[in-house]
Structure 1
Amino acid sequence: MESRRMEDIVVNREKRYCQKQAIIFNSFSQIITNTLTGDIMVLFLTDILLFKIVNITFIISLIPLVALVRLPLIFVLRGRSKVKMIEISIIVKVIFVVVLLSVPWNLLGVWNYTALIIIYQISTEYGVGICWQPLMREITSISDRGQFFSRMRFVFMSLNTLFIFLLAFFVGDVMNSFQYKALLCVSLFGLLLQFYTIRKISRKQIIIANNEGHKISRPLLQQLSDNKKILWALILDLLFLCIGFTLNVVYLKTVLGYSSKLVSLYITLNNLGGTLFLPFMGRILDRNLQKGNRYICRLYLIYMVVLVMLPVYVSGSMINVVFITIFSLLSGVIASGVYLMMTILQHSLVKTEDSFMVFNLYQIILYAVAFVSTNVFGSIINYAGHDRISMIYLFSLDIFKCVYAFLILSSVVIVKIVFNKMNMNLRE
């Protein structure tokens, strides 16, 4: 009995250590992504490489499509050491950055650069893409997942917010070669930090035990059968995905006519609201997942009311500022709450030994549905921009608001039903 207790103490200590290293590992992730495949990359392509818009659009569209490489990879690589895969992935990313720093950029034509980006993105999927969530399952328990994921998200969102703030002063109207190389050096530092921390994680016994490599993996159908409760989480995730906030900026800009300044305010406050709310939400969800879900559903209903009342843009009107402030803070808080709740739920409903396959199949389904829902809502927004249902003073009603309100009301009801039906005896 005493030896068992001592063993638990050691395991918990190792988990806490690994969690600390995971937070450090993840702290630069968003900065690296923005620089190498995100908005900063777009500035590099437009201002320095002088690519045409059609070429830039082509490259951007390829990046999410590469995620489909997960499907064959998870079958080929199951049973392999997750930490080793992440290490190899980081090495490839470092080589990618070194190539960008050393190769004359006049040699980087569209096809050469596209090939480099595809290699980089495949390495991302090979490493963090398919291994990160299963690895996090191994170093957390039901009692600390909420606080851990909230801390991790808080750290990387805070660091990314600071990075974006400083970037506005560092980069002028047009990015130059020196500036992008400096940003590449920041990314290189982040990658080296990731390699250092994943090596430290790999030395812990709880990681060694679960990442011995080449372990015999159970048949996929058996894994899915034993983890069928994850379907409840998938239903919830798909509902939340359909009432997400991906196209809010497009709606504000194209349908309601909001200025770029107010849209920037929306983005800033959205990020700020989500960041500040994370620690509080993490504690709630750790104590009572169902209670946290009720809070999120109530916030969604408030958000729905604000969305329906959201006025069209009138220059100099304070009512626009007030509404966009409430709207952005609510969307940020809800997005963070949903992220935490679904992450905790996913990890609680999947066995550690099956997490590699189950988590990745789960994500592939979400990718597919996200692609469809984004295109559907894009069409709805396009229609809403040309045909308003009614207009009273600054307040308008359009098809987007109607569809969204219906989806939120329906989803809140379904979410409550699903939570009531779920067996909340969550497994370690």
Structure 2
Amino acid sequence: MKKSYQSSIVGLSLSNQIISITITGDFMILFMSQILGFSDLQNSWLITMLPIIALVRIPLSYLMRRKNLLDLMRWSVLSKLCLIAILVVIPYERVTFSIYTVFLVLYQITVELGFGLTWNPLILLVTEEKSRAKFLSHLGLFQLVTSFYTLLISFYIGKELTSFHYRCLLGIALVSLILQFILLKQLQTDYHLFQNHQETGRMDWQVLKKQIWYHLRILLLDSLILYITLTINVLYMVQVLHLSAKLVSLYSSMSLLGNVLALALAGPCFEKRRSLFFTILLVMTGCEILLIFFLPHDATSYTVFWSIGWGVLNGAIGALWGLYISLVKHQAASPNPFTIWNIYQGIAYLVSVLVFYLSGNLVHLSSSSSEFDPYRLVLIACLSICILVCLRILYKRKTGLK
């Protein structure tokens, strides 16, 4: 029965990726920089603000604890349809920083109401523990579609993103939302399977405390990966390296391609040959450190090969660490995962706010200095810590330590 719903979950994931890239992802950076004309500080502030808005997940997880997961998804899709439709028709010359801030606040709340609250519980419901790693790995493979999509967009856009280009992307996002409605209708046949059966009594704070402490090391690791694979990488390319929209879009598509290739080649090793999995991750992380160290400091020396190399390595590292982190989270599932996961995620968002704020300021410092590049140095430092984590895991597996 669970396998019959997995194709719908894959479709929901793919459509959500396309929407996210356009509204709150890489194309949003280009939209703010090249169409709305926001400064690098304004851009970094808006990017930093998104995790802060996502903290609404904490009260929402309590208020919606007895609602059906499909209903939450449906309300979210309807709200996003309305907001994106407004962004399609509004003249962009009238979009001020304040207006766009309000739009992002409302949009992020709708995201948290849907995918934010329901995604982990949905995965738990439609997969079994013994096959969950395989499903998550296969789910990542379907990002090849998103990679191909962004690659086509990079050739379509050219050097600069225009208002017409972005409205076309918003139109595709609207079609993706309609597709989500259809997929949710397919899941509707077993409506009661997706009901939250959480108890309405007092929260077991001892269980919550145990869960949070168990995830503390994962939270710290997740923060490092967040900085490495950050959307602000795109802001760094635009504001510091002064790259064209075509090269930035190529980086985004190659990042998704690296994500897919990593899950296809190294993902299957996670279950049966975990030492090989972390060895591959160790080598790729070392390669990215070398690439970033020798990355050109100006657009004239930056070619498509740098976008391809950085994108593929960055996507691969993010995918494999993401697979490891996701499985650890699911293995620690509690009797009431809906609230436990979302409160934990709220704490993770607080940490991510600091990461976004730090990275945004580092980009600003890098853009104002011709000799010193703090953003790149911190990026290398985070990758170096990931190498140490890999070595520690490999050592523990070799010696049999837990």
TM-score range, shorter chain: 0.7 to 0.9
Q: Which residue does the alignment assign to 1:175?
A: 162
* Superimposed CA distance per residue, residues 204-244 of structure 1 (whole angstroms, 9 cap, x where no aligned partner): 3xx62451567536614143256467426625634643772
Q: Which residue does the alignment assign to 2:109?
A: 122
Q: Which residue does the alignment assign to 2:64?
A: 77
Larger Rg: 1
Sequence identity of aligned pairs in percent? 22
Kindly indicate whether the alpha-carbon contact (under 8 Å) linking 2:12 and 2:180 is maintained by their aligned counterparts in 1: yes
Paired residue type of 2:51: P
Kindly indicate whether the alpha-carbon contact (under 8 Å) linking 1:69 and 1:122 is maintained by their aligned counterparts in 2: yes
> Shift in Å at residue 165 of structure 1?
3.0
Which one of the candidate residues 83, 86, 89 is aligned to 1:96?
Answer: 83
Q: 2: distance between equivalents of 1:241 and 1:306?
A: 17
Q: Out of 157-166 and 370-379, give the one that drifted further.
A: 370-379
Q: 2: distance between equivalents of 1:162 and 1:235?
A: 31
Q: Which residue does the alignment assign to 1:211?
A: 195
Q: 2: distance between equivalents of 1:197 and 1:406?
A: 42
Q: 1: distance between equivalents of 2:356 and 2:67?
A: 34
Paired residue type of 1:115: V
Which one of the candidate residues 196, 205, 209 is aligned to 1:221?
Answer: 205
1:350 aligns with 2:336: no
| Aligned counterparts, 1:277-426, within 5 A | 277-289=262-274, 292-308=277-293, 310=294, 312=296, 326-351=309-334, 353-376=335-358, 382=365, 386-387=371-372, 400=378, 403-404=381-382, 406-415=384-393
Q: 2: distance between equivalents of 1:324 and 1:29?
A: 24
Q: 2: distance between equivalents of 1:421 and 1:363?
A: 33
> Shift in Å at residue 304 of structure 1?
3.8
TM-score normalised by length of structure 2: 0.77
Q: Out of 228-237 and 160-169, give the one that drifted further.
A: 228-237
Instruction: Name which structure has the greater RCO, CA cutoff 8 Å, separation 6+.
Output: 2
Kindly indicate whether the alpha-carbon contact (under 8 Å) linking 1:86 and 1:128 is maintained by their aligned counterparts in 2: yes
Paired residue type of 1:143: K
> Shift in Å at residue 326 of structure 1?
4.9
Kindly indicate whether the alpha-carbon contact (under 8 Å) linking 1:90 and 1:127 is maintained by their aligned counterparts in 2: yes
* Superimposed CA distance per residue, residues 396-424 of structure 1 (whole angstroms, 9 cap, x where no aligned partner): xx954774465345433455578799998
Which one of the candidate residues 257, 275, 286 is aligned to 2:260?
Answer: 275
Paired residue type of 1:194: Q
SS, match of residue 129 in structure 2: coil
Do the aligned partners of residues 369 and 209 (structure 1) sit closer, same or farther apart at CA in structure 2, a change above 3 Å counting?
A: same
> Shift in Å at residue 135 of structure 1?
1.5
Q: 2: distance between equivalents of 1:44 and 1:307?
A: 26
Q: Which residue does the alignment assign to 1:158?
A: 144
Q: Which residue does the alignment assign to 1:195?
A: 181
* Superimposed CA distance per residue, residues 27-60 of structure 1 (whole angstroms, 9 cap, x where no aligned partner): 1112212333445456666777x56558777655
SS, match of residue 336 in structure 2: helix
* Superimposed CA distance per residue, residues 356-394 of structure 1 (whole angstroms, 9 cap, x where no aligned partner): 1222233223322233234445666747963599xxxxx
SS, match of residue 282 in structure 1: coil
Q: 2: distance between equivalents of 1:45 and 1:248?
A: 15
Which one of the candidate residues 218, 222, 225 is aligned to 1:241?
Answer: 225
* Superimposed CA distance per residue, residues 145-191 of structure 1 (whole angstroms, 9 cap, x where no aligned partner): 22322222232x323223223334544656345x5544333222211
Do the aligned partners of residues 69 and 307 (structure 1) sit closer, same or farther apart at CA in structure 2, a change above 3 Å counting?
A: same
Kindly indicate whether the alpha-carbon contact (under 8 Å) linking 2:137 and 2:267 is maintained by their aligned counterparts in 1: yes
Do the aligned partners of residues 93 and 248 (structure 1) sit closer, same or farther apart at CA in structure 2, a change above 3 Å counting?
A: closer
Q: Which residue does the alignment assign to 1:27?
A: 14
> Shift in Å at residue 117 of structure 1?
3.5
Kindly indicate whether the alpha-carbon contact (under 8 Å) linking 1:258 and 1:312 is maintained by their aligned counterparts in 2: no
SS, match of residue 293 in structure 1: helix
Q: 2: distance between equivalents of 1:188 and 1:134?
A: 25
Paired residue type of 1:269: M
Kindly indicate whether the alpha-carbon contact (under 8 Å) linking 1:28 and 1:159 is maintained by their aligned counterparts in 2: no
Do the aligned partners of residues 422 and 106 (structure 1) sit closer, same or farther apart at CA in structure 2, a change above 3 Å counting?
A: farther
Q: 2: distance between equivalents of 1:268 and 1:274?
A: 10
Kindly indicate whether the alpha-carbon contact (under 8 Å) linking 1:259 and 1:313 is maintained by their aligned counterparts in 2: no
SS, match of residue 2 in structure 2: helix
- Report the number of matched residues: 394
SS, match of residue 143 in structure 1: helix
C-alpha root-mean-square deviation of aligned residues, in Å?
Answer: 4.3
Kindly indicate whether the alpha-carbon contact (under 8 Å) linking 2:140 and 2:260 is maintained by their aligned counterparts in 1: yes
Do the aligned partners of residues 119 and 278 (structure 1) sit closer, same or farther apart at CA in structure 2, a change above 3 Å counting?
A: same
Q: Which residue does the alignment assign to 1:11?
A: none
Kindly indicate whether the alpha-carbon contact (under 8 Å) linking 1:224 and 1:358 is maintained by their aligned counterparts in 2: yes
1:15 aligns with 2:2: yes
- What are the ranges of 5 or more consecutive residues in structure 1 without an aligned counterpart? 1-13, 390-397
Q: 1: distance between equivalents of 2:86 and 2:236?
A: 39
Q: 1: distance between equivalents of 2:80 and 2:19?
A: 10
Paired residue type of 1:127: G
